[in-house]
Structure 1
Amino acid sequence: MRTALVIGTGLIGTSIALALTGRGVRVYLADQDPDQPRTAAALGAGTDGLPEGPVELAVVAVPPARIAATLAELQRRGAARAYVDVGSVKGGPARELLALGGDPRSYLGTHPMAGKERSGPLAASADLFEGRPWVLTPTPRTETEVLNLALELASLCRAVPVVMDADAHDRAVALVSHTPQLVSSLVAARLESAEETAVRLCGQGIRDVTRIAASEPRMWLDILSANPGPVADVLSEVAADLDETVRALRALESADEAKRSAGAAGVEAVLRRGNAGRERVPGKHGAAPAVYESVAVHISDRPGELALIFADAGRAGVNIEDVRIEHATGQQAGLVELIVVPEAAPGLIAALRERGWSIRG
């Protein structure tokens, strides 16, 4: 690939442009907001403005409601040899493009499974898609050259291509992306009117659950409006589970021993189902989930502390699989959880204690 046009220079579009430019592709940038491509160009994402002639690949990175119309206009102009979009919903835009008289042969719907809570070109990075799944939804009418260019796009962005049916994709993201966003927002909404004393007790659990609730509401309204049915289906199932769990918890308040026992069984059942579901989430590098141990280390909140811990773990010959940080309330200190394979934990604990670190537990 030598030339590309990116329409829409928000987080995803600018990140794609940065990745392509960094690998030698000449990228042109366009957006409804003229400030955005100027900002993206200043970041090194490409050239602000349309090319004089057709490019090899046009990448449409606009909100789902505008994808089909944007694609149809680009095809009418003959802007590229091939066209892809990177929206988070695939079935609707493809059908809308056909209704607008678009050419399904030169178009392929795609969805890079990556993002951030922040939006806009200033949040973009060339490595945003590295190692992440990039869904491709070809149809029998998709031309081979178009599929090859889409595969090359994913490769240049260091992503992992995954081929799916468009409607199957929409049902999948409703479960693993769109519903979690709403559930996170619903939990975070409970904090809006909570007493300050309660909010001050927030720990890592509530931070984990509500992290994505910081996302841009208008962006998510666009996404959810394009995939309302599958999301509503999943939420209905969650609502049924919540109703059962509420009844089980109410039963635990009963003076009747049999009701309390039934309530406890109901709560335990949902917790165990949660365990089973969590175990299906892919592990490191998309491999099967692995069992790890956590080594909790007390640290002060000052520059260089994390680097020292990692360096000491490296001297001990231990690979850190993951890391979590919990900050202490009202103190310039915190707890770092170093996630390692079980057989490495005893040696790591001994090595860190020898170097003066305080280990919890």
Structure 2
Amino acid sequence: MEVGLVGKPNVGKSTFFKALTLKDVKISNFPFTTTQANIGVGYVKKECACKFFGVKCNPINSICIDGYRFIPVKILDVPGLVPDAHKGKGLGNKFLDELRRASALIHVLDISGKTNELGNPAVNHDPERDIEFLLKEIDAWFFQIVRRNLEKIKNKVKYEKANLVTELSNKLAGIGIKEATLLKVMKSLNIDSLDSLEDNLEKFSSKLRESKLPIILAANKADIDTYRNYDRLKERYEIIPTFAEGELALKQASAKGLIHYIPGESDFEIIGNLSKEQEMALEYIRGFMKKFGSTGVQECLDKAIFEKLDMIHVYTVENERKLSDSKGNILPDVHLMKNGSTALDLAYKIHTEIGRKFIAAIELREQVRVGRDYKLKDGDVIKIIAGR
């Protein structure tokens, strides 16, 4: 599961990526700073189970900061997108090929309106145009993929009576489309045959893209939004005001021991000696956080994973009394699971052999023994019982 950062050039996408991952990338004020995909690790945030149980945890596959569990997620920063990218403009083809790997997208906008569609300096450019063109480009790319693959199976469906949904899902497996997703989208559009699919192919492709690749809108550079574009667009779009430069500065200051900061929170504490310039910069960031509740960067990633992709987090332990693994690490591992997953799904995620030999599970918050069909809840702590 990867989250892709997309947007036109020069909107602060590389800064956003570094703020999420703290990975060194080129950060410059000109188009196409990023010419190939950067891959890093960001972290989604949940209240840690250590609070509920009153224990000190020792995470292995994640991080706990002051009772908040940070769970790793791959982040993909792809080259900037310009209009007609699906026709090869700019770095378009390279950009679109990278999208195959993503499960969700964060569209980083320059909400200040100070860059045009190509990422060059501008005065009062309307960021709504960027929302529209990026959606158009991604939908056009998706349409091309669906149309190309439909052509490959048409004769088989028409003359050999092959199953349309099965054949198409096999062809689209490379971009993560499952048969159940196809059926759901077809039903929503009353598509029940090859002819009706061809008649509604653009609508179908767009709906399929929405299901496969949901998009979060990040109104970046909201700290310099002098034209109040965010206030205008929030009435029409689900959009999050962000200050990526501020988030990056906070994480760097925290790493140097100058402040205590928990990503996603509404404030921070100064704990080190600061210069006057540093104090002024941090107070500027604090002002943004007071206005909007946070820098918005963490919120974008959390929303992508837990709302758009409908994931939950579940802890696994081996020793139910000590809440530990075999080495004594308390609440060591947490897993991101699709909402609706079962105890058996979790067992298979840990190891195929554990899934195959599954007997039962114990949910430790409520201290109940459950079976293979038990629907996991967000924050569950699970002990799997398996045969030898």
Q: For the superposition of Structure 1 and Structure 2, which TM-score range results when normalised by the shorter chain?
A: under 0.3
Structure possessing the higher radius of gyration over alpha carbons? 1
What is the TM-score with the length of structure 1 in the denominator? 0.26
Q: Quick one: higher RCO (CA 8 Å, sep 6+), 1 or 2?
A: 2
